[in-house]
Every structure is written in structure tokens, then in C-alpha cells.
């Protein structure tokens, strides 16, 4: 069949954002009726690529061809007209309205309700997507909500359907049902571009897999034939970074002990934590790797104290049970934290840097005594942070919102590190930060560990973790893998764990997963 | 050529101060124009409403006495508004505060003296706070929007007032008019300036803003209020409990409104009748916005609004406009200050439009 | 207790219910689009004076009602400008509108105190309209029937038309509606203006039907009851109708208690009832669903597209 042009062709596609090359000369083809996987970690460039196919963005270089002809796709409406449909990872649904009304709102053309209902029923029957059009969306399960999005996309008769991480919100049974639908679509000639990081699904469903890493295309292969290990290796990168840590370093006593920590998910779609256990010793840098949306946000909030648990002994610092304590109390016990969101969570953009120091330092550093703030002390401390961490700012009274991303992150890290915590938990320490600031932050973390603190780094940047950490575990579906020494780690095993395939002795696939919507936001970064 | 709004890097401190002044001036200007248009001497009307009470020394006591409750209530409301807690029921809390003070006074019988008066005032604070506790509880336990609940309770309070002054607490010597018996002198607040109506409550209204200023600027509590209102997630990260903040904000707002009510009762009016609810609870919302939610701003804005109340009454006799006209000006000042908020965050720029680049719609 | 008593009672109740039904219906539409307009009382008073003045000037009550609607819509659009274009705080702006409307109507009404206007003729033939018993159904002013018809129209509009669907979508999830391509601001302006028009007509009911006179602050707080009514009805037009009559009964009981000295429960108890009931209903519906029950999810929140 090599004379029929491919349904979708990408040639030399590149896209640059300030500071990062999101897609670098990517070329591949999707044949008619093919189920084609797009595989890669966060930041590999998958979402950027797909946004360009759907017309949300334009490539800086390269061309897109549709059924052999060169096309320009300036907006999603044009994409839909060509026959490209997309089911997003995050649904934009109206909770209080019915299924039928939601679909009607999303249609380009105005179709009378009766007729629309008829067509919806027909599509549902054709693909076995059972849904009562009259039901209100807020009553539906997550899997059912996704079906609304799928039906909406199918109603415009697509010949290419893009699915963005569709199974992160589904139960195993719902995943199977989805696969049935997708296979049927493919049989009828519709091509499917399936974005995922889950290796076992890609092996089960897809005929072709294009693997991206760091914006570049690594390989296009046949997942039915390739092993999971080799795909994981390509996904993460085969060459291990040089790790500048002498093997066999000894650590001090246990600083942080987490034992079978379970927490419910945040909000409607939050990923719950299930029996998380690990230990961090003095002088140790413990890394938690994972693709976004697997419980990282919930884990940080559970450790920082913003979410407390009834099981007080699940989190212990230097032997003391702190599971029931809030953030302020945990700080007094020596646990500091840095959440991934700089603006609005780690720092208040409208407040001065001095005031932001008071936010977390008031008790431990006595920046406030008996309920009264000492502005002089706060200013002095802030000054120390600014000079020690080389924060470029007009002074201690500059508002946090006026700092650049890298500088604000340096300030926040400095604010916590100079409080000399016993345990420091950080999430995404260098996300969106320029290389210079990132290097400074990394060094500061290493120095803090050398001074005897235990550090836990939750990050989606595996390179960062491999560079910094002594010990590594992988979070997936709200569960934590066993801890591995980085110096002895098998990169392929890490990749498999990130891809949801557990090694020997692993439990069955987690039930009722649902990723944290907040964590998953970071997926679309560049 | 087009006007465009450009976000400022930092909120403009200058604008924060300039805009309330501009709002007042603009209101005066529009007032002159509108009145002239409908055949009333615009200049005289506006001068009487805004300036005469401040210039005529015999009117100062009226302005002072009227400003006291406005300032006190606004102080409490500003705390809440800063924390994004919207207490619209200050009028109701004001009423309940006054009723509690009256209740203590009646229970004390003929007894008086500073201790009794202090108890009456404290009862007012407690009553107002208790009335505000209802929407606070509804919000923290049932997620009920406090705007709606506090508003509804205002009208319930009005009815309670009507019942009490028309029934059990009606003055037996009062010609069957629904009102409480006037307070005996021993149960009233002392007059500060002899020969005037300026009572102790006025002094409290002048001192409290400074107390609040100190608390908001220097205390951890003030910090808590500011963080919760500005970035609730950061507040939790900093270890502040949002439920506790809601309770405190509502209780303070209610307590202040109750205080104002009891001070007005024991200091100025000395009796409660059906006309007691004069809308201070709502006007105080204007005061707190005009004062930019800052305690000293509330002090100044309270004087400005009291000035318009007194001026409105003056204008009634001098140019024959109804005293509810003061409301038009008060509302206009609020409109202008709300509209001008945008200039604190954004800068107005004149840009030359260029031809848009063809084809590519590089949306997000 | 004879038939005449019941007839009189029902006629009274309908008369009390109609203005809050009208204002409530308008506010319901505005709130469904996500805008909380606390200025209902002010808009009603503006409508009352506008209708009255127009009636004096033109002598035509129908034109006067239209004038009341237009005046209400204009004042609501002023509110809309501040809240939708300048993104000002909805609560404070609504209160400002109430205070402004009260003051403005008093000022404009200065020349009209003491005047009397032409009333509406009855809609149905006198044999029915003035009949001692059948007047219960046929004896009302046209505004009453208009209000009831509007309940049906608004209900149909919201549930069965595409525009109504878009309006509800805007109130539920303004960001999604915006990303689909609908004009959130435009829809809200229209909804708010409609709310103002209905409030204006509701106000005119006071100055043109209940008593054919103008007096300062004659709506006596009914605007606030209309706000309570919208919440009590769970933002549903059909429930609004029953709720309005229910509140009307409570208001009638208050009047009866005041007039007859019926002392089992004081009149103020009945007067407070609509508000208390609303608070109770609020507690029930808010705690049940994840914060808000039927309240439009965007109610009271400014529209801030990520730009």
C-alpha cells in the first residue's frame, strides 16, 4: 500500500519557545487506519506537536501534509474541517448541564436538538459508547465524561483522531472499553494518534510508536515487536549521566520516615495516595520520579502539612509523629517544603519578599514573636537570602511578582534552605528556571544535604534526579516503588516503573486511578 | 489609534491614594452638572452637601456623631473584605448590637453608672458578633455563601427590632409609639465636649482606626488576613487555617457593627424606634471601599460620608431636594472608586494599530 | 370565613406576589448567566418613578410600562458596565446601584408626589373581571398575566433554545464557554439588562397598580425579597412562581397580623419568614451538592480569561 499517501505527514517540524526548543526537526507519518502511539516523557514535546496538528499553534519550520497534500492549519475549526478530531486530557464540560447540551454547545454547526440527539444515539450505538444523553454531567463518572468528549469528536466524522493521555483517568475496565472503540474506528479507516507514556497500553493497542525525547524524534518502531525495555530506554535515554557522588557514601540516622501513607485524592479528579513508604537519612538526597499526574501534588501536600492525616505515625521526623500536624507545626519540628507552584502557593505575588519570608519563617526564625511581626528581622533575613542566593531584585521590598521565574525560585529555595531544616521536601525545584539558576539551586541542595539534612525531591525531570539524588523511587498511580540506589540503578527499570510496569513482586494495576489535574497541568509546559 | 490597558508590573501605590480623592471630586463635578440640568442650583446644592458641614463649625458635631458608627463598622468590614469574606449583614449586626445593649439597660432597671454602661456596650459587641456567627457557621459547615446568608439575616434582625420595640420593650409612657423608653442619663455615654452632642463613641471611633492599623500592619493576625485574601493556597502553605480566618473575620465584623449600634444607642439616640436602622451597615460598605480597606482610609472616608449625610439634610432646606439625594452622591463615589480600581492594576496606553500579520492565528 | 374573604385574600396575595415574581424572574436570568446583581431594589424604584412619570406625561399606561422597563434596563446596563467591562466587585457595585436608585428615584419623584395616574383597564370583560367570584382569575391588571406568561417564556427560553443553553453555559463555566467561542461579556450584558427591565416593570407595578401614586421608597424592601426568592427557588423559573406565591402568603399574613392584631404570632414573625426560609433552604442545598446545589457555578465571580 505504499502508493496511497499517508493520512498525516510531518516533515521537519520545529517549534521554539523562549528558552527551549520544544520540537526539533520532527518527521513521521501516520497511515490511514493506523493506531499510532506518540510516546515520551514530560517535556519531550508531545503536546506541543499535537497542538500544532490541531491548529492551536503554528510550527516555526517544517510542513504538515494531509492525505499527501501540504496544508496549513491556522485554528482548530480548520482542523476539524479537514477531519482531525481531538480528545483532550482535560475536559471542558459544563457540570450542571446534560450530556446532550454539552455536546450541542461544542458543535460548530447549529443542529436542532432532536436531530442532534438522533445522531448522538447513532454514534453511541455504533461504537458501544453507552451514555444517557439526558443525564447531568456532574452525576457522571470520569470515564463517562470522557465518552462525551469522544462522542463530540466523532460527530464531526474525523479521519484522524488524536487522544491525549486518555487512560490516565480510567479504570482498567474502562480502558478496555476504550480500546474496543478505538480498534473499531481504526478498522473503519480512521487513524488514531495515541499520546501516552504507558508502555503496556501502547504494546496492547498500537501498531506503530514514535518516540520523542527532548524535542527530538528518537525512533519510530513497532510496539508489538519491540520490548518494553527497549522502548523505555529510548524514552528516557540510554546513556546514564555521570553521577558525581562517590559510591558507598554513608548517611546519618533516619530523618524522615513515611510508613504506609494513604491519602484521598484532592477534589474530584485527584489521584489518591496508596500505602506510600520510604525513608530519608541525614545527608541523603531522595528522589521521587514519575510522569505528571501520578500523585506528586497530593504527596507534597501530605508531606508539607497542608493536608493532614488521621494516621499520625504515617509520617515521622526524627522519630516524632507528625502526620496530624499542619504546615506551621511541621516547620517547628524541622520540616520545610517548597511546592511546585511559585506564584500563589510557595509565595504571594503581591507581597514583598520580606513578607514572603514571614510567611514560612515567622516561627522557626522568630521573625514574629508573640504574634507581632518584627519587620527589621524579616528584612535582615531576606537580605541574607538575596545575597547568598544571588537573587536579582531591587531589594527586600520588591514584590515577589516582580521577580523573574528563576530569581523567584532562587529566593524561595534560599528562604527554606537558610532556615536549616532537618528535612526539606521540594517539588519541581527547577521547573521553568534558566540554566544558571537551576545550577545554583542544585548546588544549594547538595550543600544542604552535606550539612546533614535529608532532602526529598519530587521531580518530573529524570535527568535532574539522576544527577542529584542518592536514592530514587518512582511514583505511579499513587503508589511508590521500592527505593533504589542511583549508583546501582538500572535506567530501564526506572523507565518501566514510570511507564506503569512494575517489576517482580509488583501488585496488579492500580484500581480507580485519577490523576491530579493540577499536577497534570505541568505536562503542557512547552 | 486605540486605547489599550496594559498591566503594570507592580500595583501603583500612587493610584491607590489618588483614586479615592479623584472619585470624590468627580462626584462633586457630576453633581453640579446633573442638578443644573434638572433645574436646581447645582453649585449651591453640591457645596451644601459636601463643603458646608465641614466649614460651618456648628455642624461639626453632627458630622462627628454621624461619622462614628460609619467608621467603626467600616473597620470591621475592611478586615473581612481584605480576607475575601463578604459580610453584607452589618446593618443587622448593628441592630442586634443595639438591642442587646438595650436589653441590658432594661434588665438593669433604674441602675446606671459607668459599669452598667460598659456592660451595655460590651453586650452590644457580643450581640453583633453572635449575629455574625450565624453566617460564619453556615459558611464553614455548609458552604453557604455568606453574602446571601448575612443579607437575609439583616431583614430578620429588622423584624426582631420591630417586634421588641412594638411589644415587650415598648415605652409605656410613649403615647403608644413603637419605641423603647429613653435612656436615663446614668445609662448613657458621657459627652466629651460640653455643650455639644459629641459623645464617648466619637473618641472610640477616632482611636480604633489607629489600633486596627497597628494590628493589620504589625501583627501576625493582620498578616493572616492579608494572605488569605491575596493567595489562599499560600495561606495554607504558611500554616494559616482558612476556617479560622473566616470565623475571625465575621466575628470582628459583627462585633464592630454591634459596637457601633450600642454606641449610637447609648451615646446619640438614647432610644430605639423603627427608624433606628438608618442604613449605616450598608453605607459602611461604601466607606470601607472608599477608604481602600485601610483603617486610616476608613477614618477619612467615614468623615467624608458623614459629611454628605449632614450636607444632605442641609440641602433639604436650602435647595429643597430630598435627603435621600445624599444617597446618589454616596453611590456615585462608590461607582467611581470601583471603576478606578482598574487604574491601580493597569495603565492606559495609546497605541497605533498596525496591520495584523496575515494567515496564522497563533492562539494558545 | 366566607367566599368573599377567600377571594379578597387571593387577590391580595397575587398583588403582593407579582412584583417580586417579576423582579425575581429578571434576577434569575441575570444570575443564571453568572452575575449577581444586588441592585434590584434600586432598579425597581427607578422603574416605579419612570413608569409613573411616563404615565403622567403620556397618559398611556402601556407606554408607561415600556418606559419603566427601559429605565430598569438602562440602570442595569450601567451596573453591567462597571461589573463586566471594568471588572469591578459585583457585590459592592450592586449595593451602590440600590443606594443610587433609591436616591435618584426620590429626587426625580419630587415633582410627582401627590399626582394620580390613569390605571390599566382590565384585560377581561367586566362581567368576569368584576364578578365577585371569578375576579379571582380574571380581575387582575395586565401586568399580573404578563408576569405569569413570562415565567413560561423564560422557562422555555432557558431549557429549549440554543441561546438559553449558551446563557446557562456562560454561568456554569465561563472559561470553557469563552474557549468554545461564545461572547461571555455579551451574553451577560443582555442577561443583566433583561433583569433590569423586569425589575423596572415590577417597580412600576407599585406606582401604577397597587396604588396609582408615587411615594419615596415605595417598594419597601421588596427588591431584597426578590433576591431571596431566586435563591429559594433554586434558580428554577417554575419554582419561582410557586415561591413567589408562597412568599406572597407570608407577606399577606404579615399584613393581616398587623391589621387585625392577630396575636398568636407577631406580624414581624411572618415578615421575617421569607428570609428565614431562604437561609434554611440555602443551608440544605449548599451542603448537599459540592458547594452550591443549583447555583450557577460562576455566580458573582469576575470573568478573567487567561490572556
Residue C292: per-residue pLDDT: 43
Residue A268: per-residue pLDDT: 60
Residue ranges of B 217-246 with Cβ closer than 8 A to chain A = 218-221, 223, 226-227, 230-231, 233-234, 236-241
Residue of C nearest to B321 (CA): C107
In angstroms, the separation between the Cα of residue B243 and the nearest Cα of chain A is 13
With contacts defined as CB-CB under 8 Å, which chain A residues touch C158? none
Q: Looking at the structure, do residues A85 and A144 belong to the same domain, yes or no?
A: yes
Domain enclosing residue B155, as ranges: 59-333
Residue from C62, C43, C44, C64 nearest C53 by CA: C64
Separation of alpha carbons A7 and A208, rounded Å: 14
In angstroms, the separation between the Cα of residue A360 and the nearest Cα of chain B is 5
Neighbours of chain A (3+ CB pairs under 8 A): B, C
Q: Looking at the structure, do residues A140 and A226 belong to the same domain, yes or no?
A: yes
Residue A464 falls inside a structural domain: yes
Q: Average pLDDT of C57-64?
A: 90
Domain enclosing residue A94, as ranges: 8-236
Residue A114 falls inside a structural domain: yes
Single residue among A215, A236, A257 that ends a domain in this structure: A236
With contacts defined as CB-CB under 8 Å, which chain A residues touch C175? 92
Band (C289; pLDDT cuts 50, 70, 90): low
Contact of A96 with chain C, judged by CB distance below 8 Å, is answered with yes
Residue A433 falls inside a structural domain: no
Q: What is the pLDDT of residues B246-302, one digit of tens each?
A: 999 999 999 999 999 999 999 888 888 888 888 899 899 989 988 989 999 999 999
CB contact under 8 Å between C179 and A92, yes or no, is yes
Q: What is the pLDDT of residues C88-139, one digit of tens each?
A: 889 889 988 998 998 889 888 888 888 887 777 777 777 777 787 777 888 8
Q: What is the pLDDT of residues B95-104, one digit of tens each?
A: 999 999 999 9
pLDDT at C295 over 90: no
Q: What is the pLDDT of residues B53-75, one digit of tens each?
A: 888 888 888 899 999 999 999 99
Q: How many residue pairs from chains A and C have C-beta atoms closer than 8 A? A: 41
Q: Average pLDDT of B84-112?
A: 91
Residue B351 falls inside a structural domain: no
Residues ≥6 apart with Cβ < 8 Å to A54:
A73, A76, A79, A84, A86, A162
What CATH number did the domain enclosing A522 receive? 3.40.50.300
Q: How many residue pairs from chains A and B have C-beta atoms closer than 8 A? A: 82
Separation of alpha carbons B174 and C66, rounded Å: 47
Residue A318 falls inside a structural domain: yes
Band (C307; pLDDT cuts 50, 70, 90): very low
Q: Average pLDDT of B215-234?
A: 92
Contact of A114 with chain C, judged by CB distance below 8 Å, is answered with no
With contacts defined as CB-CB under 8 Å, which chain B residues touch A75? 361, 363
Residue B290 falls inside a structural domain: yes
Residue B98: per-residue pLDDT: 95
Closest CB to C92: pick one of B151, B152, B289: B289
Residue from A221, A225, A235, A307 nearest A264 by CA: A307
Q: Is the pTM of this model over 0.90?
A: no
Q: Looking at the structure, do residues A148 and A261 belong to the same domain, yes or no?
A: no
With contacts defined as CB-CB under 8 Å, which chain B residues touch A305? 239
Q: What is the pLDDT of residues B329-353, one digit of tens each?
A: 888 888 888 888 777 777 777 766 5
| Helix extents (H) in A418-511 | 435-450, 462-468, 491-498
CB contact under 8 Å between C283 and B138, yes or no, is yes
Separation of alpha carbons A290 and A273, rounded Å: 14
Q: What is the pLDDT of residues C1-23, one digit of tens each?
A: 688 888 888 998 999 999 999 99
Name which of A83-97, A166-180, A400-414 the model is least confident about.
Answer: A166-180
- DSSP structure class, residue B143: -
Considering its fold, how many domains does chain B have in total? 1
Separation of alpha carbons B108 and B114, rounded Å: 13
Q: Looking at the structure, do residues A205 and A266 belong to the same domain, yes or no?
A: no
In angstroms, the separation between the Cα of residue B268 and the nearest Cα of chain A is 36
With contacts defined as CB-CB under 8 Å, which chain C residues touch A138? 289-290
Closest CB to C173: pick one of A94, A113, A268: A94
Gyration radius of chain B's alpha carbons? 23
Q: Looking at the structure, do residues A34 and A145 belong to the same domain, yes or no?
A: yes
Closest CB to C165: pick one of A95, A105, A268: A105
Q: Crossing angle, helix C3-32 and helix C184-205, to 10 degrees?
A: 160
Give the residue from C31, C156, C161, C169 with the most A CB atoms within 10 Å of its CB, the best one to mutate: C169
ipTM of the complex: 0.81
Separation of alpha carbons C32 and B7, rounded Å: 30
Q: Average pLDDT of B177-181?
A: 83
Q: Looking at the structure, do residues A232 and A254 belong to the same domain, yes or no?
A: no
Residue A351 falls inside a structural domain: no
Q: Average pLDDT of C294-299?
A: 80
Pairing outcome for strands A8-17 and A20-30:
antiparallel
Closest CB to A95: pick one of C162, C172, C175: C172
CB contact under 8 Å between B282 and C99, yes or no, is yes
Is the model more confident about C283 or about C265?
C283
Residue A430 falls inside a structural domain: no
Q: Crossing angle, helix A353-361 and helix A375-388, to 10 degrees?
A: 100
Q: Looking at the structure, do residues A286 and A188 belong to the same domain, yes or no?
A: no
Q: What is the pLDDT of residues A163-203, one digit of tens each?
A: 988 887 677 777 888 899 999 999 999 999 999 877 888 89
With contacts defined as CB-CB under 8 Å, which chain B residues touch A326? 239, 241
With contacts defined as CB-CB under 8 Å, which chain A residues touch C297? 95-96
CB contact under 8 Å between B361 and A75, yes or no, is yes
Contact of A467 with chain B, judged by CB distance below 8 Å, is answered with no
Single residue among A185, A212, A236 that ends a domain in this structure: A236
Residue A185 falls inside a structural domain: yes
CB C64 within 8 A of CB C51: yes
Contact of C153 with chain A, judged by CB distance below 8 Å, is answered with no
CA distances from B335 to B16, B25, B330, C94 (A): 15, 13, 9, 10
Sign of the Cα pseudo-torsion (A173, A174, A179, A184, in order): positive
Closest CB to C106: pick one of B325, B332, B339: B325
Q: Average pLDDT of C65-76?
A: 96
What CATH number did the domain enclosing B134 receive? 1.10.3470
- DSSP structure class, residue A98: B
- DSSP structure class, residue A268: T
Band (A281; pLDDT cuts 50, 70, 90): very high
DSSP for B47-81, please give it: IIIIIHHHH-GGGHHHHHHHHHHHHHHHHHHHHHH
Residue of C nearest to B38 (CA): C108
Residue B109 falls inside a structural domain: yes
- DSSP structure class, residue B5: E
Q: Looking at the structure, do residues A116 and A192 belong to the same domain, yes or no?
A: yes
Contact of C282 with chain B, judged by CB distance below 8 Å, is answered with yes
In angstroms, the separation between the Cα of residue C27 and the nearest Cα of chain B is 14
With contacts defined as CB-CB under 8 Å, which chain B residues touch A359? 227, 234, 237-238
Neighbours of chain B (3+ CB pairs under 8 A): A, C
Residue C219: per-residue pLDDT: 86
What cell was used for B170?
Answer: 415598648
Q: Average pLDDT of C59-76?
A: 94
Considering its fold, how many domains does chain A have in total? 2
Separation of alpha carbons B161 and B151, rounded Å: 16
Q: Looking at the structure, do residues A231 and A257 belong to the same domain, yes or no?
A: no
Closest CB to C92: pick one of B38, B166, B334: B334
Q: Average pLDDT of A8-24?
A: 86
pLDDT at A385 over 50: yes
Pairing outcome for strands A216-221 and A208-213:
antiparallel
Q: Looking at the structure, do residues A176 and A275 belong to the same domain, yes or no?
A: no
Residue B8 falls inside a structural domain: no
Residue from C179, C238, C225, C163 nearest C199 by CA: C225
Q: Looking at the structure, do residues A131 and A194 belong to the same domain, yes or no?
A: yes
Spell out the domains of chain C, with CATH numbers in brackets.
3-288 (1.10.3470)
Single residue among A236, A260, A294 that ends a domain in this structure: A236
Q: Average pLDDT of B155-160?
A: 92
Give the residue from B231, B344, B345, B364 with the most A CB atoms within 10 Å of its CB, the best one to mutate: B231
Residue B346 falls inside a structural domain: no
Residue A396 falls inside a structural domain: no
Is the model more confident about C172 or about A40?
C172
With contacts defined as CB-CB under 8 Å, which chain C residues touch B144? 279, 282-283, 286-287
Residue B20: per-residue pLDDT: 86
Residue B95: per-residue pLDDT: 96
With contacts defined as CB-CB under 8 Å, which chain C residues touch B279? 99
CB contact under 8 Å between C165 and A106, yes or no, is no
Q: What percentage of chain A exceeds 90 in pLDDT?
A: 38
Residue of B nearest to C226 (CA): B152
Query: What kind and span of H or E run contains B354?
Result: none
Closest CB to C100: pick one of B142, B151, B328: B328
Closest CB to C176: pick one of A94, A96, A110: A94
The count of residues in chain C is: 307
Name which of A151-155, A468-472, B155-159, B191-195 the model is least confident about.
Answer: B191-195
In angstroms, the separation between the Cα of residue C104 and the nearest Cα of chain B is 6
Q: Average pLDDT of C239-256?
A: 89
Q: Average pLDDT of C30-55?
A: 94
With contacts defined as CB-CB under 8 Å, which chain A residues touch B360? 58, 72, 74
Contact of C113 with chain B, judged by CB distance below 8 Å, is answered with no
Separation of alpha carbons A279 and A289, rounded Å: 15
Contact of C95 with chain B, judged by CB distance below 8 Å, is answered with yes
- DSSP structure class, residue A347: B
Closest CB to B338: pick one of C36, C82, C306: C82
Q: Looking at the structure, do residues A201 and A309 belong to the same domain, yes or no?
A: no
Amino acid at each position: 500500500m505504499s502508493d496511497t499517501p499517508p493520512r498525516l505527514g510531518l516533515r521537519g517540524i520545529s517549534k521554539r519557545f523562549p528558552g527551549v526548543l520544544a520540537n526539533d526537526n520532527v518527521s513521521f507519518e501516520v497511515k490511514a487506519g493506523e493506531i499510532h502511539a506518540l510516546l515520551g516523557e514530560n517535556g519531550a514535546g508531545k503536546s506541543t506537536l499535537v497542538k500544532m496538528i490541531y491548529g492551536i499553534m503554528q510550527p516555526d519550520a517544517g510542513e504538515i501534509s494531509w492525505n499527501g497534500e501540504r496544508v496549513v492549519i491556522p485554528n482548530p475549526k480548520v482542523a476539524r474541517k479537514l477531519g482531525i478530531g481531538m480528545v483532550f486530557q482535560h475536559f471542558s464540560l459544563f457540570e450542571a448541564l446534560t450530556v446532550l447540551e454539552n455536546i450541542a454547545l461544542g458543535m460548530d454547526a447549529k443542529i436542532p436538538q432532536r436531530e442532534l440527539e438522533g445522531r448522538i444515539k447513532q454514534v453511541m450505538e455504533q461504537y458501544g459508547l453507552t451514555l444517557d444523553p439526558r443525564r447531568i454531567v456532574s452525576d457522571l463518572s470520569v470515564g463517562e465524561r470522557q465518552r462525551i468528549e469522544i462522542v463530540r469528536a466523532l460527530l464531526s466524522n474525523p479521519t484522524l483522531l488524536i487522544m491525549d493521555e486518555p487512560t490516565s483517568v480510567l479504570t482498567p475496565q474502562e480502558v478496555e472499553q476504550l480500546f474496543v472503540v478505538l480498534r473499531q474506528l481504526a478498522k473503519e479507516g480512521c487513524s488514531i494518534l495515541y499520546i501516552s507514556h504507558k508502555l503496556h497500553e501502547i504494546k496492547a493497542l498500537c501498531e506503530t510508536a514514535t518516540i520523542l525525547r527532548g524535542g527530538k524524534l528518537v525512533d519510530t518502531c513497532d510496539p508489538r515487536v519491540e520490548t518494553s525495555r527497549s522502548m523505555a530506554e529510548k524514552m528516557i535515554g540510554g546513556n546514564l549521566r555521570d553521577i558525581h557522588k562517590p559510591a558507598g557514601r554513608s548517611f546519618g540516622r533516619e530523618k524522615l520516615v513515611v510508613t504506609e501513607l494513604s491519602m484521598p485524592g484532592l477534589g474530584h479528579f485527584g489521584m489518591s495516595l496508596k500505602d506510600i513508604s520510604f525513608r530519608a537519612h541525614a545527608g541523603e538526597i531522595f528522589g521521587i520520579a514519575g510522569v505528571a499526574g501520578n500523585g506528586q501534588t497530593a504527596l507534597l501536600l501530605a508531606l508539607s502539612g497542608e493536608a493532614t492525616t488521621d494516621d499520625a505515625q504515617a509520617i515521622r521526623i526524627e522519630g516524632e509523629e507528625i502526620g496530624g500536624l499542619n504546615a506551621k507545626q511541621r516547620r517547628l519540628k524541622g520540616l520545610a517544603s517548597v511546592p511546585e507552584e511559585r506564584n500563589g502557593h510557595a509565595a504571594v505575588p503581591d507581597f514583598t519578599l520580606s513578607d514572603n519570608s514571614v510567611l514560612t519563617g515567622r516561627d522557626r526564625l522568630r521573625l514574629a514573636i508573640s504574634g507581632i511581626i518584627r519587620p527589621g528581622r524579616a528584612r535582615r533575613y531576606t537580605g541574607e537570602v538575596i545575597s547568598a542566593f544571588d537573587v536579582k531584585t531591587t531589594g527586600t521590598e520588591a514584590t515577589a511578582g516582580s521577580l523573574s521565574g528563576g530569581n523567584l525560585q532562587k529566593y524561595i529555595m534560599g528562604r527554606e534552605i537558610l532556615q536549616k531544616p532537618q528535612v526539606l521536601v521540594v517539588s519541581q525545584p527547577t521547573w521553568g528556571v534558566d540554566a544558571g539558576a537551576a545550577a545554583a539551586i542544585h548546588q544549594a541542595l547538595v550543600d544542604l544535604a552535606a550539612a546533614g539534612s535529608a532532602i526529598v525531591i519530587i521531580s518530573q525531570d529524570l535527568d535532574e534526579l539522576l544527577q542529584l539524588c542518592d536514592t530514587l523511587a518512582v511514583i505511579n498511580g499513587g503508589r511508590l516503588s521500592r527505593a533504589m540506589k542511583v549508583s546501582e540503578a538500572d535506567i530501564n527499570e526506572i523507565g518501566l516503573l514510570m511507564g506503569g510496569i512494575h517489576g517482580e513482586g509488583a501488585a496488579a494495576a492500580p484500581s480507580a486511578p485519577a490523576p491530579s489535574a493540577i499536577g497534570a497541568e505541568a505536562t503542557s509546559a512547552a | 489609534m486605540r486605547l489599550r490597558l496594559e498591566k503594570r508590573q507592580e500595583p501603583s501605590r500612587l493610584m491607590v491614594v489618588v483614586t479615592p480623592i479623584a472619585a470624590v471630586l468627580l462626584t462633586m463635578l457630576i453633581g453640579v452638572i446633573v442638578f443644573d440640568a434638572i433645574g436646581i442650583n447645582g453649585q449651591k446644592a453640591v457645596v451644601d452637601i459636601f463643603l458646608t458641614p465641614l466649614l460651618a463649625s456648628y455642624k461639626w458635631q453632627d458630622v462627628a456623631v454621624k461619622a462614628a458608627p460609619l467608621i467603626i463598622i467600616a473597620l470591621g468590614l475592611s478586615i473581612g473584605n481584605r480576607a475575601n469574606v463578604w459580610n453584607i449583614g452589618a446593618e443587622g449586626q448593628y441592630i442586634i448590637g443595639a438591642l442587646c445593649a438595650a436589653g441590658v439597660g432594661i434588665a438593669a432597671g433604674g441602675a446606671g453608672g459607668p459599669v452598667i454602661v460598659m456592660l451595655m456596650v460590651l453586650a452590644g459587641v457580643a450581640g453583633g458578633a453572635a449575629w455574625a456567627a450565624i453566617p460564619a457557621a453556615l459558611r464553614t459547615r455548609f458552604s453557604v455563601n455568606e453574602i446571601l446568608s448575612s443579607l437575609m439575616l439583616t431583614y430578620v434582625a429588622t423584624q426582631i427590632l420591630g417586634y421588641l420595640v412594638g411589644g415587650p420593650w415598648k415605652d409605656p409612657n410613649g403615647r403608644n409609639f413603637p419605641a423603647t423608653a429613653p435612656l436615663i442619663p446614668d445609662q448613657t455615654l458621657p459627652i466629651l465636649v460640653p455643650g455639644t452632642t459629641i459623645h464617648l463613641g466619637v473618641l472610640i471611633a477616632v482611636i480604633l482606626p489607629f489600633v486596627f492599623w497597628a494590628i493589620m500592619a504589625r501583627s501576625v493576625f493582620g498578616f493572616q488576613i492579608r494572605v488569605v485574601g491575596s493567595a489562599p493556597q499560600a495561606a495554607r502553605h504558611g500554616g494559616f487555617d482558612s476556617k479560622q480566618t473566616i470565623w475571625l473575620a465575621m466575628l470582628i465584623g459583627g462585633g464592630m457593627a454591634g459596637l457601633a449600634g450600642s454606641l449610637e444607642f447609648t451615646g446619640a439616640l438614647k432610644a430605639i424606634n423603627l427608624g433606628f436602622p438608618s442604613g449605616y451597615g450598608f453605607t459602611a460598605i461604601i466607606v470601607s471601599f472608599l477608604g481602600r480597606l485601610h483603617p486610616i482610609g476608613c477614618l477619612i472616608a467615614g468623615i467624608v460620608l458623614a459629611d454628605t449625610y449632614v450636607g444632605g439634610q442641609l440641602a433639604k432646606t436650602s435647595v429643597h431636594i430630598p435627603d435621600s439625594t445624599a444617597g446618589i452622591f454616596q453611590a456615585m463615589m462608590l461607582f467611581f472608586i470601583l471603576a478606578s480600581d482598574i487604574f491601580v492594576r493597569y495603565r492606559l496606553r495609546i497605541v497605533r494599530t498596525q496591520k495584523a500579520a496575515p494567515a496564522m492565528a497563533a492562539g494558545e | 370565613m366566607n367566599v368573599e374573604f377567600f377571594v379578597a385574600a387571593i387577590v391580595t396575595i397575587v398583588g403582593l406576589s407579582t412584583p417580586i415574581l417579576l423582579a425575581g424572574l429578571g434576577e434569575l436570568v441575570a444570575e443564571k448567566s453568572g452575575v449577581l446583581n444586588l441592585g434590584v431594589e434600586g432598579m425597581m424604584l427607578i422603574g416605579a418613578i419612570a413608569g409613573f412619570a411616563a404615565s403622567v406625561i403620556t397618559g398611556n399606561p402601556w407606554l408607561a410600562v415600556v418606559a419603566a422597563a427601559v429605565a430598569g434596563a438602562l440602570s442595569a446596563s450601567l451596573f453591567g458596565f462597571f461589573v463586566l467591562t471594568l471588572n469591578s466587585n459585583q457585590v459592592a457595585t450592586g449595593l451602590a446601584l440600590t443606594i443610587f436608585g433609591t436616591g435618584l428615584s426620590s429626587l426625580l419623584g419630587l415633582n410627582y408626589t401627590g399626582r394620580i395616574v390613569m390605571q390599566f383597564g382590565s384585560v377581561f370583560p367586566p362581567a368576569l373581571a368584576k364578578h365577585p367570584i371569578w375576579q379571582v382569575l380574571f380581575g387582575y391588571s395586565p401586568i399580573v398575566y404578563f408576569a405569569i406568561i413570562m415565567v413560561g417564556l423564560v422557562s422555555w427560553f432557558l431549557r429549549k433554545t440554543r441561546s438559553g443553553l449558551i446563557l446557562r453555559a456562560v454561568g456554569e463555566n465561563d472559561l470553557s464557554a469563552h474557549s468554545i467561542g461564545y461572547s461571555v461579556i455579551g451574553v451577560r450584558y443582555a442577561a443583566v439588562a433583561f433583569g433590569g427591565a423586569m425589575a423596572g416593570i415590577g417597580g412600576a407595578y407599585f406606582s401604577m397598580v397597587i396604588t396609582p401614586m408615587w411615594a419615596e421608597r415605595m417598594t419597601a424592601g421588596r427588591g431584597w425579597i426578590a433576591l431571596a426568592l431566586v435563591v429559594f427557588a433554586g434558580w428554577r423559573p417554575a419554582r419561582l412562581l410557586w415561591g413567589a406565591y408562597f412568599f406572597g402568603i407570608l407577606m399577606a399574613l404579615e399584613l393581616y397580623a398587623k391589621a387585625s392584631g392577630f396575636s398568636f404570632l407577631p406580624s414581624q414573625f411572618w415578615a421575617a419568614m421569607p428570609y428565614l426560609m431562604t437561609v434554611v433552604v440555602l443551608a440544605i442545598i449548599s451542603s448537599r451538592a459540592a458547594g452550591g446545589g443549583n447555583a450557577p457555578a460562576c455566580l458573582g465571580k469576575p470573568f478573567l480569561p487567561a490572556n
